[in-house]
Chains A and B, each alone.
Chain A
Amino acid sequence: MTENFDYSLIDWSRAQFALTAMYHWVFVPLTLGLGFIVAIMESIYVKTGDPAWKRITKFWMTIFGINFAIGVATGIILEFEFGTNWSNYSWFVGDIFGAPLAIEGIMAFFIESTFIAVMFFGWDKVNKKFHLLSTWLVAFGANLSALWILVANAWMQMPVGMKFNPDTARNEMHNFWDVLLSPMAVSKFTHTISSSYLLASIVVIGISAWFLLKKRHLVFAKRSIVLAAVFGLVTSLFTILTGDYSAKVIAKHQPMKFAAFEGLSVGQRGAPLVALGIVSSSPDDPNNENVKDFAFKIEIPNFLSYMAFQDFDAFIPGVKDLMEGNEEHGIMPAAEKIVRGRLAINALAQYKEAKKAGNEVQQAEAKQILDENFQYFGYGYFENNPQGLIPSLPLTFYSFHIMVMLGFWFLVFFALILLLVYKNRISTSRFWLRIAILNIPLAYIASQSGWITAEMGRQPWVIQDLMPTMAAVSKLDSNAVVVTFVLFALIFTTLLIAELKIMFRQIKNGPKAGGN
């Protein structure tokens, strides 16, 4: 029997998933947001009949198309990667997880792919209203596909609506609506799409600012800025609200991740929110009292407790509490969870043997032990490596704080831009126009940080508490995964360069070449 997990395989498989998912996410948020922005622009054109708005719509539609194509290219791999690289996962939860993926295809992708053709090829072939409807349907389809894939992701973070079936050795769906409407799914979907609208607004403002700085296409640029700033202001408020809601759901259902957000080693009542901080070099040794969590930090007293539980005095468990247990607050030590997880895994084996032998009494006994301990099933794989239960604190802490700080900054920025527009000083405020361009990479950093927070913070789980990455991975030679990792890196990077070059040229050409 093998003595240890093949960590090289696990790490490369994770690296490949991270690489492909992050590349995909470079393109998706712009598609989600720009789809609606373009639809709003076209609505104004249809309403007013003003050809200038048609030009504006067509320019942004060209940008949308360039970005959309590479989003599709990088997206197909993600669906199939669950099978190719995470085959155990695909069986263990495929009964639940496969459904949203299939629904995404049937309900959302066909809407997108059909009506995007009308959107691009139908200008002179269908009437204005049908064309407008198609543009709205493309935006709607893209967001609908986001709904289903985020429902699937949320379910991994908070598995609900299912029951483990020892006969098939997998989890089976019992309630579709619980899966669809879980608080995690609601928070994940609303936060992800609103932050994507925000990103698209930043991109539109940034590109338009460049035109203003170059003193080209002034009407086009100003109109685009006003529209995007209003859209951005509203959606950034919504992003903050949904982010706050997300934090509450995570505090309740993924306490380890929540502790990692804040780099909280030791739990406390009235926990402060770290507004800014530098994580100390060895923060994850909860046994050493002399080790500091932070080399430097600025805190807002009691605010973390309030954020999580609407109570300034609430207890927030730290990594130490979650690992060593905290009787006062009813937190089970990790060691005990590991024992229980092992019990569940062994009970599953015994259940199968008893069934084979036709021993119903033993079978029932084993089933009972399994049922009682199933919620800790995944912990059973950590017998020799309990420290593996702790996610990377610095990475989670920094990505979380970068995301939050940038989110608030964007709210201020949108308000500022609108103020400048109101005072009729937008085209002359060169400083702020330059800031607007610099904001574009910041928006992408914020968006990627959000996913790093969500996905690194939940490590080591692919399915919270039930299946760790080690138990989910396909049995492959790690060299095979290295090869595909390198191929993905090369191809996606090449395609990204092509995309950016084309995009920059189209922007340089301006609205006339992008549409007539």
Chain B
Amino acid sequence: MFETFTILTLQQYWWVIISVLASLLVFLMFVQGGQTLIYTLGKTDTEQSMIVNTLGRKWELTFTTLVTFGGAFFASFPLFYSTSFGGAYWVWMAILFAFIIQAISYEYRSKPNNFLGKRTFEIFLFANGALATILIGTAVGTFFNGSMFSVDKMNLTQLYDPAISRWETPFHGLEAVLNPHNVALGLAVFFLARILGILYIVNSVKSEEIFKRAQKQMIYNAVPFLVFFLYFVIALLLKDGFAYSPGTGEVFMEHYKYLHNFIQMPLVLVIFLAGVVLVLAGIALFLFKKSIKAIWLAGPGTVFAVLALFLVAGLNNTAFYPSTFNLQHSLTIENSSSSHYTLTAMSYVSLFVPVVIAYIYWAWKSINNKPIEASDLNEDQTHVY
């Protein structure tokens, strides 16, 4: 089936898959958001443990989605992988360190004789929650604002200096924080993750006290989220974007490029608006109706909104990873992708994704159909973090 597709169709298909994985990842970062709220929502030891345990049952899903996102990006658009990861070294390394310290924290936090102490592992969780969301958001901001890099495949033929992708500033990614638009996205992701964290926790932890604090916390997080998110979106719609000519691949600046993308891809616009409305509706439902089910609105809303932003970044002849050092070195889905053969093979693999989602749903349904209570933290009954 996929063999008959043109390379462009496969490239678009894979950009959509990358976008779906990215949007699921941002939704699943409710785990990270929740990790920054352990002390604000939980005041007693038991409350904090309930929060840690309910997040702890989901952290691996987020983690695995991140790893799969990375692998899928590598397999489908390897030039992005080599250019961005090797170039924006400090940003990616900081993100990786943030995930390394997360991976042991749940399992080791409450184990006796754990060397660093419970508090340290909780700080690790907090650091992961804050750093991962802000840095990933900021890094994705560069998809719209560009970075200082060059790509020349012929460097391979230079005997002593064969590096194809080069970062053209000595800051290796840190310079991204100098652009307020990038940072706004980073902070918007951070506060969104906290909003989702709150909604997930009230849905999965049975505690009046936590619920009361969550209501207050929601306001503290929803307001800055809206400020940063609106700033990001309005600036995005008004800014010049990185477009390319489909025939020649020549990259040029186009006024209102991202606004044009929304208008020229109305379905993406609908997805985006639906996403925003669902997120807002989720926040409102929780604040005004005190519903604990609001995660089921805000979660899918996040998926829709992030999906639309990624589609706008890469489709409709847009360079998804622009170079401000040399426009013509910008990465597009056409000049950075894998071969037709590999994209085809990987497309067959992608058919497994629905199967994966189905068994995850089925497995979780079978063990996690009621909220966590204080009495669930009995070590004799089950595995406790």
Contacts and interface: CB of A to CB of B under 8 A. Distances in A.
Interface stretch (B164-172, B192-200, B253-261): B164-172
A169 interface: yes
B64 interface: yes
A47 interface: no
Contacts of B366: 118, 122, 125-126, 130
B86 A1 contact: no
Contact of B346 (A68, A102, A174): A102
A173 B342 contact: yes
Interface string A133-176: 01000000000000000000000000000000100111011101
Given A76-B103, A169-B156, A98 B78 contact: yes
A3 B70 CA distance: 35
A502 B108 contact: yes
A352 B154 contact: yes
B59 to A, nearest CB: 9
A125 B163 CA distance: 54
Interface stretch (A107-115, A196-204, A233-241): A107-115
B89 interface: yes
Contact of B82 (A76, A91, A121, A505): A91
A104 interface: yes
A121 B372 CA distance: 12
A383 B162 CA distance: 14
Contacts of B78: 90-91, 94-95, 98, 170
A346 interface: yes
B74 A98 contact: yes
Contact of A114 (B81, B165, B338, B363): B363
Given A85-B86, A90-B78, A105 B64 contact: yes
Contacts of A115: 363
Contacts of A86: 86
Interface stretch (A218-226, A256-264, A469-477): A469-477
A79 interface: yes
B288 interface: no
Interface string A85-99: 111111110111111
B114 A501 contact: yes
A103 B351 CA distance: 11
Contact of A106 (B57, B92, B102, B349): B349
A88 to B, nearest CB: 6
A508 to B, nearest CB: 9
Nearest to B92: A84
Contacts of A498: 104, 108, 114-116
A92 B160 contact: no
Given A73-B100, A117-B364, A173-B342, A102 B85 contact: no
A123 B163 contact: no
A116 interface: yes
Interface string B330-355: 00000000110110011001101100
Interface stretch (B139-147, B241-249, B273-281, B376-384): B376-384
B86 to A, nearest CB: 3
A121 B384 CA distance: 9
Interface in A55-84: 65-66, 68-70, 72-74, 76-77, 79-80, 82-84
Contacts of A2: 160-161
B109 to A, nearest CB: 10
B63 A90 contact: no
Contacts of A471: 156, 162
A48 interface: no
A282 interface: no
B374 interface: no
B103 A70 contact: yes
B159 A381 contact: yes
A88 B154 contact: no
B8 interface: no
Contacts of A383: 159
A69 B70 CA distance: 20
A480 interface: yes
B170 A477 contact: yes
A69 B103 contact: yes
Interface stretch (A33-41, A292-300, A489-497): A489-497
A139 to B, nearest CB: 16
A115 B85 CA distance: 31
B116 A174 contact: no
Contacts of B154: 169, 348-349, 352
A136 B79 CA distance: 38
Nearest to A179: B345
A409 interface: no
Contact of A502 (B89, B111, B164, B359): B111
A4 interface: yes
Contacts of B382: 120-121, 123-124
Contacts of B112: 502, 505, 509
A182 interface: no
Contacts of B153: 91, 168-170
B101 interface: yes
Nearest to B383: A120
Given A72-B103, A77-B96, A169-B153, A90 B74 contact: yes
Contacts of B250: none
A105 B67 contact: yes
A387 interface: no
A415 to B, nearest CB: 36
A79 B71 contact: yes
A516 interface: yes
B383 A65 contact: yes
A101 interface: yes
A487 interface: yes
Contacts of B163: 87-88, 473-475
A1 B72 contact: no
B157 interface: yes
B367 A110 contact: no
Contacts of A121: 57, 367-368, 382-383
Given A1-B161, A69-B108, A84 B89 contact: yes
A103 B66 CA distance: 14
A137 to B, nearest CB: 9
B61 A113 contact: yes
Contact of A88 (B74, B162, B350): B162
13 contacts: A73-B101, A79-B70, A90-B81, A94-B75, A99-B346, A101-B75, A113-B63, A130-B366, A173-B339, A475-B161, A475-B165, A477-B170, A480-B89
Interface of A: 1-5, 65-66, 68-70, 72-74, 76-77, 79-80, 82-92, 94-99, 101-107, 109-118, 120-126, 130, 134, 165, 168-170, 172-174, 176, 345-346, 348-349, 352, 380-381, 383, 470-471, 473-477, 480, 484, 487, 491, 494-495, 497-499, 501-502, 504-506, 509, 516
A-B pairs with lowest CB-CB distance, top 7: A94-B78, A87-B86, A83-B85, A105-B68, A98-B75, A73-B103, A474-B86
Given A83-B85, A95-B338, 12 more contacts: A79-B67, A83-B86, A110-B64, A110-B356, A110-B359, A114-B363, A114-B364, A122-B367, A172-B338, A474-B163, A497-B115, A502-B111
Interface of B: 57, 60-61, 63-64, 66-72, 74-76, 78-79, 81-87, 89-90, 92-93, 96-97, 99-104, 106-108, 111-116, 153-154, 156-167, 170, 172, 338-339, 341-342, 345-346, 349-350, 352-353, 356, 359-360, 363-364, 366-368, 380-383
